[in-house]
């Protein structure tokens, strides 16, 4: 039972039935106090079913031992010896009963020599002996009654009694069958460890080796779950690889040879004129254009901030992500980021879409323009809308906010420009220094 306990087989699925007959000692293993692992032994035997023949309990044994000692003046040498003497006493008592019955029938003083008659008188009878009820069948074999205990909290409690009785004498004499039987008497109900108190099944629902159950659906479910998990993992991996690939596509990177810088000259009136055959708008003779150059890329008018450099620039993954987000930003109050030229022709170009009317500073401080209050309020609202959109976007940064970075388009709408790119450029220049 200790091995059962160590194997973790002490649960409601298992029932341990222990036949306990002809005890050599008068105590059970869990009753020994001096054993080192007594608590483990009690735990191992807990709820075990013990079946023993009636007549060997402590009360009957102690009663016979006391009577034996009183009649003989001697003490039995051991508990097992007492059990032997009790059985011998009942056997001699049975012989005496059979001898008396044979004498009563024949009146013969030498009837003890008639073994067949005495043997016949010993069969199919019962009496109360020192070991309790003694029942002898048609073959002169004792049929014991049994009692079933359950070990509960270290003590035995009776759960079932199996009473031995003589069977039908006619069937027994004709066929030699049903000469004796056991009648069960359930003393305690719902004593099993199962949830409902009922006895467990005698065999697992799927058999001892699991061959009685069809595990196909479980196998398919497990395979489907594994396949789904693998699909999710592979899909996520492909998604991340695709995302990384799109990140390194660098749609914002512009080939330097596709950008054509425009040379502008001004006449005595301060208006722009055509240079190199290109038609340039004369709406923006502003101070902002002095620090930035106008250019054309693939037919799109843009503004360029050229920076001379002989060093190759490295764009980090975080900067790649930001530049991609800049490229995707669309809002009526934000100037469109066109792209960057780097590591080409020893210069770095930051490209933004060209806005016709120049900066907000050029408009406000132009003495020739008379702006009423509504215009100024509209400009302020546009600036606030642009800032709010930037801070609500993944960029979350409006950059160096000044009048020169607030451009006015042909519809008199203010557009913020040059946001975040100056951070990237500043870091590159600082690193190169």
pLDDT in tens, 295-325: 888 888 888 877 777 777 777 778 888 888 8
Whether residue 302 is contained in a domain is answered as yes
Domain boundary among 194, 225, 249: 249
Domain boundary among 186, 204, 234: 186
Q: How many CB atoms lie within 10 A of CB 413?
A: 17
> In this structure, are 237 and 261 located in the same domain?
no
Residue 91: is its pLDDT beyond 90? yes
Torsion, CA 310, CA 312, CA 313, CA 315, rounded to 10: 160
Beta bridge partners of 163: 183
pLDDT at 263: 65
Q: How confident is the model at residue 227 (pLDDT cuts 50, 70, 90)?
A: very high
> In this structure, are 157 and 242 located in the same domain?
no
Whether residue 209 is contained in a domain is answered as no
Q: Give me 215's structure tokens.
A: 């595990």
> In this structure, are 333 and 376 located in the same domain?
yes
- Cα angle 327, 388, 243 (rounded to 5 degrees) comes to 30
> In this structure, are 231 and 357 located in the same domain?
no
Secondary structure letter of residue 212 according to DSSP: T
Q: How confident is the model at residue 267 (pLDDT cuts 50, 70, 90)?
A: very low
Domain boundary among 249, 267, 294: 249
pLDDT at 20: 82
Number of domains in the chain: 3
Averaged over 247-265, what is the pLDDT?
Answer: 75
> In this structure, are 365 and 307 located in the same domain?
yes
Averaged over 158-179, what is the pLDDT?
Answer: 82
pLDDT at 386: 92
Whether residue 69 is contained in a domain is answered as yes
Sign, Cα dihedral of 8, 13, 14, 15: positive
Contact 139, 123 (CB under 8 A): yes
Averaged over 49-62, what is the pLDDT?
Answer: 83
> In this structure, are 370 and 241 located in the same domain?
no
Averaged over 42-49, what is the pLDDT?
Answer: 87
> In this structure, are 63 and 168 located in the same domain?
yes
In the chain, % of residues over pLDDT 70: 88
Q: Which residue has the higher pLDDT, 196 or 15?
A: 15
Q: How confident is the model at residue 253 (pLDDT cuts 50, 70, 90)?
A: confident
User: Checking phi first, is residue 204 left (phi over 0); if not, alpha (psi -120 to 50) or beta?
Assistant: beta
> In this structure, are 259 and 245 located in the same domain?
no
Burial 258-281 (b: 16+ CB within 10 A, else e): ebeebebeeeeeeebeeeeeeebe
What range defines the domain where residue 414 resides?
250-432
Residue 272: is its pLDDT beyond 90? no
Whether residue 203 is contained in a domain is answered as no
pLDDT at 388: 93
Whether residue 426 is contained in a domain is answered as yes
Beta bridge partners of 146: 53, 162
Averaged over 132-151, what is the pLDDT?
Answer: 88
Whether residue 202 is contained in a domain is answered as no
Whether residue 156 is contained in a domain is answered as yes
Backbone angles phi, psi at 136, to 5 degrees: -110, 130
Crossing angle for the helix pair 317-328 and 421-432, to the nearest 10 degrees = 150
> In this structure, are 143 and 262 located in the same domain?
no
Q: Which residue has the higher pLDDT, 119 or 75?
A: 119
> In this structure, are 226 and 320 located in the same domain?
no
> In this structure, are 306 and 411 located in the same domain?
yes
Ranked by mean pLDDT, the top range of 223-227, 283-287, 344-348 is 223-227
Ranked by mean pLDDT, the top range of 79-88, 103-112, 257-266 is 103-112
Whether residue 201 is contained in a domain is answered as no
Q: How confident is the model at residue 223 (pLDDT cuts 50, 70, 90)?
A: very high
């Amino acid at each position: 039972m200790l091995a059962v306990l160590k194997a973790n087989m002490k649960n409601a699925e298992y029932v341990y039935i222990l036949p306990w007959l002809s005890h050599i000692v008068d105590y059970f293993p869990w009753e020994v106090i001096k054993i080192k692992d007594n608590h483990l032994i009690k735990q191992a035997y807990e709820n075990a079913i013990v079946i023993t023949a009636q007549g060997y309990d402590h009360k009957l044994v102690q009663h016979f031992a006391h009577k034996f000692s009183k009649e003989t003046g001697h003490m039995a040498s051991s508990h097992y010896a007492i059990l032997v003497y009790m059985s011998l006493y009942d056997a001699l008592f049975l012989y005496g009963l059979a001898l008396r019955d044979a004498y009563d029938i024949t009146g013969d003083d030498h009837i003890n020599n008639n073994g067949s008659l005495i043997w016949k008188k010993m069969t199919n009878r019962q009496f109360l002996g020192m070991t309790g009820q003694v029942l002898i069948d048609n073959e002169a074999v004792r049929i014991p009654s049994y009692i079933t205990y359950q070990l509960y909290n270290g003590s035995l409690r009776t759960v079932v009694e199996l009473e031995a009785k003589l069977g039908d004498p006619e069937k027994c004499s004709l066929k030699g069958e049903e000469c004796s039987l056991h009648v069960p008497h359930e003393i305690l109900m719902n004593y099993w460890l199962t949830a409902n108190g009922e006895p467990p099944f005698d065999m697992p629902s799927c058999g001892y080796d699991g061959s009685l159950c069809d595990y196909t659906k479980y196998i398919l479910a497990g395979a489907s779950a594994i396949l789904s998990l693998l699909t999710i993992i592979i899909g996520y991996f492909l998604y991340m690889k695709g995302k990384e690939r799109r990140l390194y596509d660098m749609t914002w990177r512009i080939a330097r040879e596709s950008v054509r810088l425009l040379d502008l000259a001004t006449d005595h009136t301060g208006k722009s004129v055509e240079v190199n055959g290109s038609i340039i708008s004369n709406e923006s003779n502003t101070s902002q254009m002095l620090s930035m150059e106008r250019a054309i890329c693939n037919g799109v008018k843009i503004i360029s901030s050229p920076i001379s450099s002989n060093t190759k620039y490295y764009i980090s993954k975080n900067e790649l992500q930001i530049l991609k987000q800049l490229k995707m930003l669309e809002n009526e109050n934000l100037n469109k980021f066109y792209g960057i030229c780097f590591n080409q022709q020893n210069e770095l170009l930051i490209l933004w879409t060209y806005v016709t009317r120049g900066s907000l500073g050029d408009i406000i401080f132009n003495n020739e323009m008379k702006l009423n209050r509504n215009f100024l309020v509209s400009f302020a609202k546009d600036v606030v809308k642009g800032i709010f959109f930037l801070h609500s976007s993944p960029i979350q940064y409006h950059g160096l906010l000044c009048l020169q970075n607030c451009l006015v388009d042909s519809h008199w709408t203010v557009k913020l420009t040059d946001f975040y790119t100056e951070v990237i450029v500043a870091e590159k220049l600082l690193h190169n220094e």
